[in-house]
Structure 1
Amino acid sequence: MLEVWKKVKENTTVRRALVLIGICFFLYLIRNIMSLLLLTFILTYLIIRVVKKLHQLTHIPQKIIAIVFYICILIFLYFAVTIYVPKLFTQTIQMIEEVVSFYQRMSTDNKLTSWLAANISFQEIKQQLTTGAKVVFNTLSNIGSMGITFVMSLILSFFFIIEQDWVTNFGKGFFTSKISVLSQDVAFLGKKFVNTFGVVLEAQFIIACVNTILTMFGLYLMHFPEGQLLSLALMIFILSLIPVAGVIISCLPLSLIAYTVGGIQDVIYVLIMIMLIHALESYILNPKLMSSKTDLPVFFVFIVLMFSEKFFGIWGLVIGIPVFVFLLDLLDVKAEKPIKKVEQTKIEKS
């Protein structure tokens, strides 16, 4: 037994694989608080990045920037809960009612709308969408499990950032303890996780913000009702956090609403706008924000999203790709895009 342990201890790859399996098993045991862990990590990572950027620009001490930043977050949350969430709820319900009533009023001379009217109960759809919206907004606005989870994550991330140096030195103390080998492997995996998972997650949030701003600007120019823009902004931001699939999913509701606003012409404009924004994301934002190792084929993106949604639920749509990229980095998988024939010929000639 001691011989086996000695061989495992000397084999770095096997040892780290066992440590990773052990961490996964531990996370499975505490899966009930997985939302708290993920939200704490996401908030901590993103806020640390923002604080460091602001420190580089202003040279103000990071602790002061962090405290001011958290105060701003609390002020924003106060106005969001008291003003914007009720307004957002009202706008969403109103938008659903307007869209459903529009399609109910459409002429039955159109074969497509006649078929839809005969086979689809718009009243039932309206009821389901309205009920779903109520559940979502009640969960977010009331002091419930999600609210408590977010508050706890915010508190944990605040204390981690304020005591970052102390926490780091405390963690280093394990490197000279009786579990030094285990601690070093956990630290190695943690560093890999932050460098891949964190980078991809940060890129997704930046891309989601850019997509939301550009889409809202485009919808405003197309004279979409201002009362619907807040609800659409939230929908687009959440869907933009889902790589590739989010853009495709957002086409359907935006097209339905565009048809109610300006007919088929606005539907074409919306689809062109989404294609342009997606092209901007694919050819400019992704290469700038992510390294080449995170550039995955669309086929693999959809496969990963399907499996991650099955195992992690809604969280899987957001963290599925970052986790997959982390595993690829851990296995040293380096997949490059195929070179086009024209480019390959130029390389060979040179």
Structure 2
Amino acid sequence: MEFLRTFFAQSIVKRILFLLLVLLLLYSLRHMLNLLLLLFLVTFVMGRLEGYVTRKLNRLFPISPLMVNILLYLLLVSSLVFGLLNFVPKIIVQVVDMFNTITRFINSSQQDEFARVAAAALEKLDFQKYLGNVMEYIKMLGKWLEIILFVLLLSFFYLIQKKKVVEFTEKFRYSKISWAYKEFHYFGQKFVSSFGKVIEVQLLIAVFNTVLTMLGLWILGFPYLFALAIMVFLLSLIPVAGVIISFIPIGIIGYQVGGFTLVLWTILMILIIHALETYFLNPRLYASKTKLPMFYTFIILIFSQHYLGIWGLIIGIPIFMFLLDVLGVEQTE
């Protein structure tokens, strides 16, 4: 008995036990994974944005974080409502039309060499698994709107009462489960400082890629810009592989619109954007430049997609960076 008491009193044993309990809890809540991940992302990003805006405005005139949060969420909700009313119908029409166009093109692969190459590439990427029936994703829009509304409410209430939430949570430090609180506090700090910041960088890069790509596609005369903007933004959240996957439908549409000449101009545009991201944007977004070998990146994406699905492609790298931080692995060069 004394041996067991001594064994479980060790900090490393408590830490491993806590991680196992967290994994068990997450597994039991796996059906709420969309809600939990989206809640963390929105709360983290809006919290960082509130802090940035508050610091900038305080240089001009005093303003409380509460007022900044209210204004930011009013702006966010107004933008969502405006987008739903004005752009979602156009996006739905364009998405359906775009994928019907791609499907017709792939079905004509017997008469076109480029179509045969594109069809083979889509088959290797398991294109249908990710995109499936377009109408099924459109039918899920109502469910996602419900999740987004719930996430916005929870994140808003957390941010406007952040001080009270922290003070209440701090009371667990002196409770009978103080050891669990200390581990929660330790991993929470690590999670925010590594996972959260990597996700923030991925979001900023996704916005950067989407804006420049849409500008380039507009100049080149591409159709379906609304649908392509959504696709490019979502796939830009996937490190490395997202660029490759997004180019396939863009290349197919470019080939149909302007032939190989337009495809070559599109490739040049994407290479320029990728170079700007690599040599200009990344060094400024990362406080300390983090590099993963390409081999590690693809291995992480393969395993994270297998266990977490589509979310795994987005959060696989941030989770790995979090684990490196916990294990104390030096990440800078």
TM-score by length of 2: 0.88
Tell me whether 1:81 sits opposite 2:84 in the alignment.
yes
Q: Percent identity?
A: 39
The CA distance in 2 between the partners of 1:175 and 1:117, in whole Å, is 58
Q: Aligned partner of 1:185: which letter?
A: E
| CA drift at 1:7 | 4.0
Runs (5+) with no aligned partner, structure 2: 121-127
2:69 to 61, 66, 76: 66
SS of match in other structure, 1:178:
coil
**1:342 — aligned with what?**
none
Residues 1:289 and 2:281 aligned together: no
* Structure-1 separation of matches of 2:119 and 2:167: 68
State the match for 2:4 in structure 1. Answer: 4
- For the structure 1 residues 302 and 116, does the alpha-carbon distance in structure 2 shift closer, same or farther, using more than 3 Å as the test? closer
Which whole-Å CA distance do the structure 2 matches of 1:45 and 1:118 have between them? 40
Stretches of structure 1 that go unaligned for 5 or more consecutive residues are 120-126, 338-350
**3-state DSSP of counterpart to 2:87:** helix
How far apart are the structure 1 equivalents of 2:180 and 2:119?
Answer: 64
Query: In the alignment, which residue of structure 2 is the partner of 1:122?
Result: none
Does the Cα contact within 8 Å between 2:213 and 2:270 map onto a contact in 1? Answer: yes
What CA distance in whole angstroms lies between the structure 2 residues aligned with 1:198 and 1:129? 25
Q: CA deviation at 1:148?
A: 2.1
Structure 1 residue 155, shift from structure 2 partner: 1.1
Distance 2:266 2:251 in 1: 7
Q: Which moved more, 1:166-175 or 1:206-215?
A: 166-175
C-alpha displacement at 1:335, in angstroms? Answer: 4.7
Deviations for 1:100-128, whole angstroms, at most 9, x for unmatched residues?
A: 566778995x6x26968999xxxxxxx99
| Mapped partners of 2:303, 2:186: distance in 1 | 26
Question: Separation in 2 of the partners of 1:19 and 1:118?
Answer: 47
Q: How does 1:283-322 map to 2 (within 5 A)?
A: 283-292=279-288, 294-322=290-318
**How many angstroms does 1:178 deviate by?**
1.9
Amino acid of the structure 2 residue aligned with 1:139: M
Rate the CA distance shift 1:159–1:116 in 2: closer, same or farther, 3 A.
Answer: closer
Partner of 2:199, secondary structure, is helix
* Counterpart residue number, 1:221: 219
Paired residue for 1:151?
149
Q: Is the 8 A contact 2:105 2:115 kept in 1?
A: no
Task: Determine the structure 2 residue equivalent to 1:348.
Answer: none
Paired letter, 1:167? V
1:48·1:161 contact (CA, 8 Å) conserved in 2? Answer: yes
Q: Distance in 2 between matches of 1:37 and 1:2?
A: 40
Instruction: Write the letter of the residue equivalent to 1:257.
Output: I
CA distance in 1, matches of 2:318, 2:176: 33
AA in 2 matched with 1:96? F
Task: Please tell me whether residue 193 in structure 1 is matched to residue 196 in structure 2.
Answer: no
Q: 1:98 to 1:118 in 2, by over 3 A?
A: closer
After superposition, what is the alpha-carbon deviation per residue over 1:9-54, rounded to whole angstroms, capped at 9, x for unaligned? 2x32332122112111111122221221111111100000111111
Instruction: Find the aligned partners of 1:117 and 1:15 in 2 and give their Cα distance.
Output: 52
1:283: Cα distance to partner?
2.5
In the alignment, the residues of structure 2 paired with residue 114 and residue 218 of structure 1 have an alpha-carbon distance, to the nearest angstrom, of 24
Give, in angstroms, the shift of residue 282 of structure 1.
Answer: 2.3
Q: 1:19 to 1:336 in 2, by over 3 A?
A: same
Cα gap change, 1:50 to 1:117, in 2 (>3 Å): closer
Q: Could you say what the CA RMSD is over the residues aligned between the two structures, in angstroms?
A: 2.7
Larger radius of gyration: 1
1:36 has 2:39 as partner: no
Asked if structure 1 preserves the Cα contact closer than 8 Å seen for 2:106 and 2:119, the reply is no
Partners of 1:246 and 1:207 in 2: CA distance? 12
Match of residue 251 from structure 2: 255
- How many positions carry a matched residue from both structures? 322
After TM superposition, the structure 1 = structure 2 runs for residues 203-218 of structure 1, keeping only pairs within 5 Å, are 203-218=201-216
Tell me which residue corresponds to 2:330.
334
2:85 and 2:176 map into 1 onto residues whose CA distance is 52
> Is contact 1:104–1:117 with CA below 8 Å preserved after alignment?
no
CA deviation vs aligned residue, 1:180-225 (integer Å, no higher than 9, x gap):
2221111001110010000000000000000000101111111223
Q: TM-score if structure 1 supplies the norm length?
A: 0.84
